[in-house]
């Protein structure tokens, strides 16, 4: 039995990104500054280049992809759309399962789809150096790769515990010429302040964000900017090339509109990349079930309220309208590090509020079980994040079998698991478990959100 | 500047393997048994299935690839041929550099090209279980992957020191359902004998081969066979799909015959896979420089004599006619584990003796320097083995610049380096060095070869 793959020629690569914002039934709420007033694009100029800020606030549905960016993306794009015929056979399902294989990029995930774009727009405006933060290193390695290709310097603040315990993506960053330091570091005021109080801290994404932003905005040359790998509107838009390609490839497979679209969501970027182009069809009347998936150990979308919250623990970001568990929430140590984020992209959050997408949460053990079944049928070892999409796919395929329906399921295979094998090892050894999060444990974090200013949220009757 | 890639549609995948043996100017010498007489195909039947033994001794130039095998290979084949325009630009060379990207397989290297085939032929003859040995795990993981796809059991004896120090490919094997044990083990007479004498031994490929062969030939059900990842004629032939695809892709790139063909060679399989189809053109009169590359720390082809030698330290294999440093030679601990083998495939060895290929050796530091330059120009992190091909490519590209010649260089990008990042880390930290091998240190091993029976070698005047 032959695995089917649908390869798009380079000439067919999408030449515009899709911006969901203007098609939302209700306009996006603005981010708020420290004074609880909406922040203006100009206030973001010390942090991001204007080219990206314009995209962040754009109400254009289609935005041209510069030719030079397409040239770089074509190093590994268009990515294959594959049909998982061996999993289908194993499950004895009438469903047809397609997956968009984003693991084929040199960094091993979908992240370079936006990293390359951000590096390019910064370079256009004379920026010479980008700073960012990274947890396990998925995003940091994608940005290091992209800066290497474009001749920009790259400085990555890596959460100290990951810097020490997960050296491999750090070595990837160094191989691509990036400078990678453990955070908190002595290089920034924010880092020094933390170290003075807690010299042995393992670090956190919140601290690392503060350090990266500080180095960007305080560079006296003005040639440094900051780069973020998910959550923001422009980042999600850059990822829509995934879904736009997938649509063309489904047509090659003689499929029309899929019945179910699935992606795992930490900050929301790979899910959005695949799903938003299909949401356009749904908004125009197509019947599509759109499912962002998350860990039960970090149930942002399924148990966090839609509200204004900070993007980081240190409260340095604007207040963003999003599903959130509270910015001080620290998820249990599941292996899907990229899904351990307290918030969800505002665009994704609003699709949930509008009823356009329906999130589901999966336990760690079910996800690893799904990942191993995937490896032994489809032959590829997936990232622990991606296993949260696969768990949902298997659930939907079984449902189709019970209903006797020939459903078409499409999901985003966001990354391979070759840098994450330690989690598999622990799973085989029986050292992993599920985590329950009793409501009383969550409540403290949720209470903190309720105490933040929520003016715009309150204004809109339907929120 | 756009990277150029040449994608072959699945319908264009080669449907026959190329067997170099009948085209060699002088017939291949036979393997010899313990009594120094040529061994017959039947003597191999307890170890390999007849379908593969027939290929091993075949004098047919073209051998059909079964359709079912093509279906499996098409999960990741045809692989891309890419042009390294960014490296060319960096080197300011008039050379056009093409690379066949074998890193895109699920196991990350060219090894599944033969692992899948071997598993399939075994399955046809009712075999239910394959045994093999592995060092760092490149081959073991490819066979585990292939057995998983075909529903065979897979038992891998992994050299103990690698089992303990390099867990990642072991976890890959386990994820694909293989059983992986450290060698020497208590499971075989060979393993127990070693453990009795040396309970703390780090193990060796030689011991692991003995264990794997023993388990295959002593299975009372007769349903177990042994599988080897390089060196043998049939293994090299399975890899020729690489070069046969590359030829079609060069035509897509409007190139005719290349000037230089390069591949790294440990046992010889990825080099042969790319080079043998081009050697056919060379035998027919084309001017092509064919370069197998190796580490100066294990200079099998450049300093080892062509002679009969054992394939393993334990002297359990037949005597094979090959370039060899002596079967008791233990190479210095360079990071390119796949190139640490004392011998070279008989077919490759004979191309050297015939003057059809010209081996070159490279130092470890030059190879890492080349690998980092590659990552920062072409964007992909290569395996340490592959860096030995890249070092030669850079040397040839500089030569073309000096000569002012528009040479076409093609090489095999045999694998990615994502499982081998520790070597890069040590390189960045300045912890690596080159190894010199004074002739007096080699001489003991070479003397041992001279004392082996060399009847067939002596018979042929030209050896």
Query: What is the ipTM for the molecules in this complex?
Result: 0.92
pLDDT, residue A164, reads 87
Among the partner residues B1, B168, B425, nearest to A167 by beta-carbon distance: B425
Tell me, yes or no, if A174 comes closer than 8 A to chain B by beta carbon. yes
C-alpha span between A195 and A184 (Å, rounded): 7
Q: Could you tell me the two tokens for B323?
A: 């370039």
C-alpha span between B125 and B45 (Å, rounded): 12
Pick the closest to residue B205 from B154, B138, B270 (CA basis). Answer: B138
Per CB-CB distance under 8 Å, the chain A contacts of B9 are: 7
C-alpha span between A24 and A280 (Å, rounded): 9
C-alpha span between A140 and A428 (Å, rounded): 29
Tell me, yes or no, if B69 comes closer than 8 A to chain A by beta carbon. no
Q: Do A106 and B145 touch (CB under 8 A)?
A: no
C-alpha span between B173 and B121 (Å, rounded): 21
Tell me, yes or no, if A66 comes closer than 8 A to chain B by beta carbon. no
C-alpha span between B308 and B31 (Å, rounded): 8
| Cβ neighbourhood burial of B369 (10 Å; 0-12, 13-18, 19+) | middle
**b/e per residue A258-280 (b: at least 16 CB within 10 A):** bbbbbbbbbbbbbbbbbbbbbbb
pLDDT, residue B460, reads 66
pLDDT, residue A203, reads 87
Tell me, yes or no, if A286 comes closer than 8 A to chain B by beta carbon. no
Per CB-CB distance under 8 Å, the chain B contacts of A115 are: none
Positions of chain B with pLDDT lower than 50, given as ranges:
none
Among the partner residues B7, B75, B168, nearest to A379 by beta-carbon distance: B75
Tell me, yes or no, if A375 comes closer than 8 A to chain B by beta carbon. yes
Alpha helices in A50-94 (DSSP H): 50-57, 67-73, 85-91
**b/e per residue A423-459 (b: at least 16 CB within 10 A):** bbbebeeeebeeeebeeeebeebbebbeebebebbee
The domains located in chain A, with CATH, are 63-108+233-447 (3.40.50.1100)
Tell me, yes or no, if A422 comes closer than 8 A to chain B by beta carbon. yes
Instruction: For residue B234, give how far its alpha carbon lies from the nearest alpha carbon of chain A (Å).
Output: 24
Q: What is the mean pLDDT of each successive set of 10 residues along chain A, which is 463 residues long? A: 89 97 94 90 93 97 98 96 97 98 96 98 98 93 97 96 88 97 95 93 87 95 96 98 98 96 97 98 97 96 95 87 92 86 96 96 97 97 97 98 97 96 95 91 91 78 52
Per CB-CB distance under 8 Å, the chain B contacts of A426 are: none
Instruction: For residue A172, give how far its alpha carbon lies from the nearest alpha carbon of chain B (Å).
Output: 7
- Best interface-test mutation with A: which of B252, B381, B422 has the largest number of A CBs within 10 A? B381
Tell me, yes or no, if B442 comes closer than 8 A to chain A by beta carbon. no
pLDDT, residue A270, reads 97
Tell me, yes or no, if B419 comes closer than 8 A to chain A by beta carbon. yes
Q: Do B5 and A74 touch (CB under 8 A)?
A: yes
pLDDT, residue B131, reads 98
CB-CB contact of A82 with A248 (8 Å): no
CB-CB contact of A81 with A6 (8 Å): yes
Q: Do B106 and A167 touch (CB under 8 A)?
A: no
Q: Do A71 and B2 touch (CB under 8 A)?
A: yes
Among the partner residues A104, A167, A171, nearest to B104 by beta-carbon distance: A104
Task: List the strands of the sheet with B360-362, edge to edge.
Answer: B4-6, B81-83, B96-101, B408-413, B260-264, B289-295, B360-362
Q: Do A421 and B74 touch (CB under 8 A)?
A: no
Pick the closest to residue A117 from A211, A48, A170, A205 (CA basis). Answer: A48
Sign of CA dihedral A426, A428, A432, A434: positive
Q: What residue has token string 């070279």?
A: B344
Q: Do B172 and A418 touch (CB under 8 A)?
A: yes
C-alpha span between B325 and B307 (Å, rounded): 10
Tell me, yes or no, if A13 comes closer than 8 A to chain B by beta carbon. no
pLDDT, residue B212, reads 95
- Best interface-test mutation with B: which of A75, A164, A419 has the largest number of B CBs within 10 A? A75
Instruction: For residue B168, give how far its alpha carbon lies from the nearest alpha carbon of chain A (Å).
Output: 6
Eight-class DSSP state of A29:
P
C-alpha span between B135 and A9 (Å, rounded): 39
Tell me, yes or no, if B443 comes closer than 8 A to chain A by beta carbon. no
Pick the closest to residue A236 from A24, A10, A43, A80 (CA basis). Answer: A24
- Best interface-test mutation with B: which of A421, A426, A427, A432 has the largest number of B CBs within 10 A? A421
**For chain A, what percentages of helix, strand and coil (3-state, to nearest 5) are there?**
45, 15, 40
Q: How many residues does chain A have?
A: 463
Pick the closest to residue A418 from A447, A380, A452 (CA basis). Answer: A380
Pick the closest to residue A347 from A377, A315, A323 (CA basis). Answer: A323
Q: Do B422 and A171 touch (CB under 8 A)?
A: yes
Q: Do B175 and A1 touch (CB under 8 A)?
A: no
Q: Do A9 and B7 touch (CB under 8 A)?
A: yes
C-alpha span between A340 and A261 (Å, rounded): 22
CB-CB contact of A249 with A9 (8 Å): no
Residue B101 has phi, psi (to 5 degrees) of: -90, 90
Among the partner residues A176, A375, A418, nearest to B375 by beta-carbon distance: A176
CA distance readout (Å), A261 to A325, B144, B461: 25, 32, 70
Among the partner residues B174, B379, B428, nearest to A75 by beta-carbon distance: B379
């Amino acid at each position: 039995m032959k695995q089917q793959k649908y390869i798009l020629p380079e000439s067919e690569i999408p030449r515009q990104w899709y911006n969901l914002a203007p098609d939302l039934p209700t306009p996006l709420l603005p981010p708020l500054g420290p004074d609880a007033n909406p922040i203006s694009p100009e206030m973001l100029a010390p942090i991001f280049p204007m080219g990206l800020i314009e995209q962040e606030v754009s109400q254009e549905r289609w935005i041209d992809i510069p030719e030079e960016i397409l040239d770089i993306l074509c190093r590994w794009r268009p990515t294959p759309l594959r049909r998982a015929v061996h999993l289908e056979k194993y499950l004895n399902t009438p469903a047809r399962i397609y997956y968009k294989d984003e693991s084929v990029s040199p960094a091993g995930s979908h992240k370079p789809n936006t990293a390359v774009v951000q590096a390019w727009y910064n370079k256009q405006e004379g920026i010479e150096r980008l700073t960012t933060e990274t947890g396990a290193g998925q995003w940091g390695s994608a940005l290091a790769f992209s800066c290497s290709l474009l001749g920009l310097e790259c400085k990555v603040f890596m959460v100290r515990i990951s810097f020490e315990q997960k050296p491999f993506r750090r070595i990837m960053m160094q191989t691509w010429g990036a400078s990678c330091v453990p955070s908190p570091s002595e290089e920034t005021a924010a880092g020094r302040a933390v170290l003075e109080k807690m010299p042995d801290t393992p670090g956190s994404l919140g601290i690392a964000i503060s350090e990266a932003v500080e180095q960007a905005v305080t560079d006296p040359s003005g040639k440094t900017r900051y780069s973020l790998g998910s959550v923001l509107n422009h980042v999600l838009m850059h990822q829509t090339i995934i879904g736009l390609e997938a649509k063309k490839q489904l047509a090659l497979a003689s499929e029309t509109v899929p019945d179910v679209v699935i992606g795992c969501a930490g900050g929301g970027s790979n899910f959005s990349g695949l799903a938003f182009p299909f949401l356009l069809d749904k908004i125009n009347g197509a019947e599509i079930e759109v499912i962002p998936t998350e860990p039960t150990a970090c149930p942002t979308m399924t148990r966090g309220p839609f509200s204004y919250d900070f993007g980081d623990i240190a409260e340095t970001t604007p207040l963003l309208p999003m599903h959130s568990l509270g910015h001080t929430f620290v998820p249990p140590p599941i292996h899907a590090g990229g899904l351990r984020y307290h918030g969800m992209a505002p665009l994704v959050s609003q699709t949930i509020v509008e009823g356009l997408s329906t999130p589901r949460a999966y336990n760690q053990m079910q996800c690893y079980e799904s990942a191993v079944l995937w490896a032994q049928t489809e032959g590829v070892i997936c990232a622990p994040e991606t296993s949260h999409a696969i768990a949902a796919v298997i659930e939907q395929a079984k449902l189709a079998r019970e209903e006797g329906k020939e459903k078409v399921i499409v999901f985003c295979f966001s990354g391979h698991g070759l840098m994450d094998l330690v989690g598999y090892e622990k799973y085989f050894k029986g050292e992993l478990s599920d985590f329950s999060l009793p409501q009383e444990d969550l409540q403290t974090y949720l209470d903190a959100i309720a105490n933040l200013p929520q003016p715009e949220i309150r204004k809109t009757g339907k929120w």
